[in-house]
Protein backbone atom coordinates (compact mmCIF):
# COMPACT_ATOMS: atom_id res chain seq x y z
CA UNK A 1 0.00 0.00 0.00
CA UNK A 2 1.31 3.42 -0.92
CA UNK A 3 0.24 6.25 1.37
CA UNK A 4 -0.42 9.39 -0.67
CA UNK A 5 0.50 11.58 2.29
CA UNK A 6 3.74 9.73 3.08
CA UNK A 7 7.30 10.52 2.17
CA UNK A 8 9.96 8.57 0.33
CA UNK A 9 12.74 9.76 2.65
CA UNK A 10 14.79 6.68 3.68
CA UNK A 11 15.53 8.44 6.99
CA UNK A 12 11.79 8.43 7.73
CA UNK A 13 11.73 5.30 9.84
CA UNK A 14 10.37 4.17 13.21
CA UNK A 15 12.42 5.24 16.19
CA UNK A 16 13.37 8.61 14.73
CA UNK A 17 13.27 11.32 17.39
CA UNK A 18 10.41 13.79 17.11
CA UNK A 19 11.44 17.39 16.56
CA UNK A 20 9.47 20.62 16.48
CA UNK A 21 9.27 22.55 13.21
CA UNK A 22 12.19 24.94 12.95
CA UNK A 23 11.83 27.88 15.32
CA UNK A 24 8.75 26.50 17.07
CA UNK A 25 8.70 25.34 20.67
CA UNK A 26 5.42 24.29 22.25
CA UNK A 27 4.87 25.12 25.90
CA UNK A 28 2.21 24.00 28.34
CA UNK A 29 0.33 26.37 30.69
CA UNK A 30 3.24 26.24 33.18
CA UNK A 31 5.86 27.12 30.57
CA UNK A 32 7.19 23.54 30.39
CA UNK A 33 8.26 22.44 26.91
CA UNK A 34 5.88 19.92 25.33
CA UNK A 35 7.13 17.07 23.18
CA UNK A 36 7.06 17.89 19.49
CA UNK A 37 4.77 16.17 17.05
CA UNK A 38 6.61 13.32 15.32
CA UNK A 39 7.53 14.57 11.84
CA UNK A 40 6.79 11.14 10.36
CA UNK A 41 3.11 11.87 10.87
CA UNK A 42 3.02 15.55 9.85
CA UNK A 43 1.72 15.05 6.27
CA UNK A 44 -0.71 12.38 7.42
CA UNK A 45 -1.93 14.75 10.15
CA UNK A 46 -2.50 17.47 7.54
CA UNK A 47 -4.51 14.99 5.48
CA UNK A 48 -6.71 14.18 8.47
CA UNK A 49 -7.02 17.75 9.77
CA UNK A 50 -7.71 19.53 6.51
CA UNK A 51 -9.15 16.88 4.21
CA UNK A 52 -10.71 14.67 6.85
CA UNK A 53 -9.38 11.54 5.21
CA UNK A 54 -6.24 9.68 4.29
CA UNK A 55 -5.90 7.97 0.95
CA UNK A 56 -3.81 5.06 -0.23
CA UNK A 57 -2.94 3.57 -3.61
CA UNK A 58 -2.19 -0.08 -4.29
CA UNK A 59 -2.05 -2.52 -7.19
CA UNK A 60 -3.98 -5.79 -7.25
CA UNK A 61 -4.19 -8.30 -10.11
CA UNK A 62 -3.03 -5.73 -12.63
CA UNK A 63 -5.43 -3.00 -11.48
CA UNK A 64 -4.64 0.26 -9.67
CA UNK A 65 -6.88 1.03 -6.68
CA UNK A 66 -7.17 4.29 -4.75
CA UNK A 67 -9.02 4.10 -1.45
CA UNK A 68 -9.71 6.54 1.38
CA UNK A 69 -10.90 6.51 4.96
CA UNK A 70 -14.63 6.91 5.54
CA UNK A 71 -16.52 9.67 7.30
CA UNK A 72 -19.28 9.09 9.84
CA UNK A 73 -22.09 9.44 7.28
CA UNK A 74 -20.44 6.84 5.06
CA UNK A 75 -19.95 4.47 7.98
CA UNK A 76 -23.63 4.86 8.87
CA UNK A 77 -24.55 4.18 5.24
CA UNK A 78 -22.53 0.94 5.51
CA UNK A 79 -24.71 -0.01 8.49
CA UNK A 80 -27.87 0.68 6.49
CA UNK A 81 -26.67 -1.31 3.49
CA UNK A 82 -25.66 -4.32 5.56
CA UNK A 83 -28.71 -4.35 7.86
CA UNK A 84 -30.57 -6.91 5.74
CA UNK A 85 -27.69 -9.40 6.11
CA UNK A 86 -27.72 -9.62 9.92
CA UNK A 87 -27.43 -13.23 10.98
CA UNK A 88 -26.70 -14.44 7.45
CA UNK A 89 -23.46 -13.32 5.84
CA UNK A 90 -23.11 -10.04 7.70
CA UNK A 91 -19.29 -10.20 7.81
CA UNK A 92 -19.06 -10.60 4.04
CA UNK A 93 -21.70 -7.89 3.56
CA UNK A 94 -19.75 -5.55 5.85
CA UNK A 95 -16.44 -6.15 4.03
CA UNK A 96 -18.22 -5.66 0.70
CA UNK A 97 -19.89 -2.42 1.83
CA UNK A 98 -16.68 -0.99 3.29
CA UNK A 99 -14.82 -1.90 0.10
CA UNK A 100 -17.50 -0.26 -2.03
CA UNK A 101 -17.58 2.91 0.04
CA UNK A 102 -13.82 3.40 0.40
CA UNK A 103 -13.03 3.18 -3.31
CA UNK A 104 -12.01 6.47 -4.88
CA UNK A 105 -11.02 4.96 -8.23
CA UNK A 106 -10.14 1.68 -9.90
CA UNK A 107 -7.80 2.15 -12.86
CA UNK A 108 -8.58 5.87 -12.71
CA UNK A 109 -12.36 5.36 -12.93
CA UNK A 110 -14.94 5.92 -10.21
CA UNK A 111 -17.54 3.28 -9.40
CA UNK A 112 -21.04 3.83 -10.84
CA UNK A 113 -23.16 6.27 -8.82
CA UNK A 114 -26.82 7.36 -9.02
CA UNK A 115 -27.44 10.32 -11.33
CA UNK A 116 -29.12 13.51 -10.22
CA UNK A 117 -28.79 16.21 -7.63
CA UNK A 118 -31.35 14.57 -5.34
CA UNK A 119 -29.34 11.37 -4.93
CA UNK A 120 -29.01 10.66 -1.23
CA UNK A 121 -26.03 8.98 0.42
CA UNK A 122 -28.10 5.86 1.17
CA UNK A 123 -29.02 5.47 -2.52
CA UNK A 124 -25.42 6.07 -3.50
CA UNK A 125 -24.20 3.50 -0.94
CA UNK A 126 -26.72 0.89 -2.12
CA UNK A 127 -25.71 1.46 -5.75
CA UNK A 128 -22.00 1.07 -5.00
CA UNK A 129 -22.61 -1.94 -2.74
CA UNK A 130 -24.76 -3.60 -5.42
CA UNK A 131 -22.14 -2.98 -8.08
CA UNK A 132 -19.29 -4.44 -6.01
CA UNK A 133 -21.43 -7.35 -4.77
CA UNK A 134 -22.56 -8.25 -8.28
CA UNK A 135 -19.31 -7.76 -10.22
CA UNK A 136 -16.30 -8.32 -7.94
CA UNK A 137 -14.99 -11.65 -6.72
CA UNK A 138 -14.64 -12.19 -2.98
CA UNK A 139 -10.82 -12.24 -3.07
CA UNK A 140 -10.82 -8.73 -4.56
CA UNK A 141 -13.25 -7.54 -1.89
CA UNK A 142 -11.03 -9.14 0.75
CA UNK A 143 -7.94 -7.37 -0.63
CA UNK A 144 -9.60 -3.94 -0.72
CA UNK A 145 -10.99 -4.49 2.80
CA UNK A 146 -7.54 -5.54 4.07
CA UNK A 147 -5.96 -2.41 2.57
CA UNK A 148 -8.71 -0.30 4.13
CA UNK A 149 -8.02 -1.80 7.56
CA UNK A 150 -4.33 -0.97 7.16
CA UNK A 151 -5.25 2.62 6.30
CA UNK A 152 -7.45 2.79 9.42
CA UNK A 153 -4.50 1.46 11.46
CA UNK A 154 -2.40 4.32 10.07
CA UNK A 155 -5.08 6.82 11.15
CA UNK A 156 -4.95 5.37 14.66
CA UNK A 157 -1.14 5.72 14.69
CA UNK A 158 -1.42 9.37 13.66
CA UNK A 159 -4.03 10.08 16.32
CA UNK A 160 -1.91 8.33 18.95
CA UNK A 161 1.13 10.39 17.91
CA UNK A 162 -0.96 13.58 18.18
CA UNK A 163 -1.93 12.59 21.71
CA UNK A 164 1.69 11.99 22.68
CA UNK A 165 2.74 15.35 21.28
CA UNK A 166 0.02 17.18 23.19
CA UNK A 167 0.78 15.39 26.44
CA UNK A 168 -1.65 14.48 29.20
CA UNK A 169 -4.70 16.66 29.82
CA UNK A 170 -4.56 18.84 32.94
Q: What is the pLDDT of residues 51-94, one digit of tens each?
A: 467 889 999 999 999 999 998 889 999 999 999 999 999 999 99
Distance CA 86, CA 68 (A): 26
Domain assignments of the chain as residue spans, ordered by start: 2-166
Predicted local distance difference test score (pLDDT) of residue 164: 60
Question: Is 34 in contact with 27 (CB distance < 8 Å)?
Answer: yes
Instruction: Tell me if the pTM is above 0.75.
Output: no
**Quick one: what percent of the chain has pLDDT higher than 90?**
44
In angstroms, the CA 28 to CA 167 distance is 9
Q: What was the pLDDT predicted at 167?
A: 56
Contact 158, 3 (CB under 8 A): no
Amino acid sequence: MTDTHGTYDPADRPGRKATAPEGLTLLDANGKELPAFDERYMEKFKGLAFLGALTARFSWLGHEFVIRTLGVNEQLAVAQVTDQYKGTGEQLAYATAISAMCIVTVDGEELPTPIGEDSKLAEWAHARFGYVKDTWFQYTINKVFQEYLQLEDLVNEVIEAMGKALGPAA
